[in-house]
Amino acid sequence: MTADLENLLPSQETPVEFITTTDGTVAKEPSVCAKTEKKIKLKKKSTKGNEFFKEGFQQGYYQQSIEGIAKGILIGLLLSLVFFLVLNTSRKQDDFSQNDSVALFLLEEQLDGVEIVYRWPKTSEDEKNFASFVRELRFKLEKVEKLAERKVPYIIGILSHSYDWTSEDVPLLDDILNYVDFLNVETNNFYAPWHRENEMAGPLSPLYSFGNDNKSIDSTMNAYTCKTMKPSKLNVILTFGGAHWENVSIDNTQSDDLFFNIDVLVTYSGTSYRWQKHSGTSYAWRSLETLGLNLEEASWHNVAKSPYIWHPNRRSFLTFENETSLEEKMEYILSKNLGGVTIDRIDQDDDWNTLLNAVTSMDMCSGSKFKKEEVKYDCGKL
């Protein structure tokens, strides 16, 4: 179907809000445990040990072309498209023509939703444009649902900043909350190597904070929950990998053994010296063994709930996720009544789906023991 969306669908003046019904009709809220219509065929080796895979997890952005996504990028998960968003500050009508393309693409390829990645709206005008874009996209998808007689509403997910959006003076979350199903909170790279402003190396995704440090899943999700009061819309982003740092030194100001100073690296080109911060390197779980380190010898940090390997003589530090750390995070998500998880780069797992099995061993579709929007954080401390 290639005709223009406006010619295909009846006109409607305002977006349709979410409505919960009690008369047996489909409620306008996401059904994340619904079966998908399209699955991909995996290599025989890749399906080993994955018999208990549960449907209902939303995948994070998967580094493939749109053509690859169209053929089906999920392994029995919700099919979704990742859309990297660029908006003009002028907010012309042309800015929102992308919504037609997204809506038609989802319809044609029978996908279940879209994740919008917009790094990041900087000004109040950017935020207004972003909110308008999301609202218009929901409007378009409601139209497509009617056209296709779709029984399960399309899902809209937003990649959400780990800190800035929960501030009291930032109204962005309030503006978009009624039009999105999930906020995929960036909890997977607090101490990532590409964050050049970081002065220290540490775990990519610590579960709990150290002292007054807010760089953790717990601090971030606490802030988001108390800001929105809708924990069911909040997803924790998990990573299937780690980071390796060299030429780091113990930070004597820290009482903890999991943070290291990023030393200045001095190189000589033959005519001059060059000073630069030494950066680490990200690795997929399937590639960690190429570092020549024995992952079975990793230490365990009881606060971060994270494995790590520190070699003082080499000044080498490796932090990564494994089965135990992911199971800890899944138990936390269930205990805090959060929406679920988004997996960043599912292809970084090994051919036996070791990490994926750890995540899916926790049955998130069996029903929560809490009320839907019951808050399990102390919001009075914020």
Rounded Cα gap, residues 318 and 307, in angstroms = 9
3-state class of 232 per DSSP? Answer: helix
> What's the pLDDT band for 83 if we cut at 50, 70, 90?
low
Residue 62: pLDDT over 60: no
Which residues are registered as beta bridge partners of 117?
A: 84
Say which residue the tokens 């601090």 belong to: 219
Over residues 100-120, the mean pLDDT reads: 86
Beta strand ranges found along 90-207 (DSSP E): 113-117, 155-160, 182-185, 200-201
- Whether 86 has a pLDDT exceeding 70, the answer reads no
**Predicted pLDDT of residue 149:** 92
| pLDDT attached to residue 46 | 38
More confident residue, 141 or 381: 141
Residue by residue, DSSP assigns 278-343 as ---EEEEGGGGGGGT--GGG-EEETTTTEEEEEETTTTEEEEE--HHHHHHHHHHHHHTT--EEEE
Class at the top of the CATH hierarchy for domain 31-241+321-381: alpha beta
Reported as type and span, the H/E element at residue 241 is strand 241-246
CA-closest candidate to residue 353, choices 120, 63, 37, 47: 47
Residue 371: partners with Cβ closer than 8 Å, 6 or more residues away: none
Average pLDDT, the chain: 74
Cβ atoms of 85 and 133 within 8 Å: the answer is yes
- Identify the pLDDT of residue 163: 75
**pLDDT tens digits along 331-359:** 999 999 999 999 988 999 999 999 999 99
Instruction: Flag the least confident range among 114-128, 177-191, 196-210, 255-269.
Output: 255-269
List pLDDT tens digits, range 254-265: 555 666 666 655
Half-sphere exposure of 210 (CA within 13 A, CB side): 17
Q: What is the pLDDT of residue 106?
A: 87
pLDDT at 23: 47
pLDDT of residue 180: 96
The winner for highest mean pLDDT among 6-15, 28-37, 51-60, 170-179 is: 170-179
Q: What CA–CA distance (Å, rounded) separates 362 from 366?
A: 9
Query: Residue 221: its pLDDT value, please?
Result: 96
Contact (CB, 8 A) for 49 and 357: yes
Task: Break the chain into its structural domains and give their ranges.
Answer: 31-241+321-381
Confidence of residue 37 (pLDDT cuts 50, 70, 90): very low
pLDDT of the residue at 236:
96
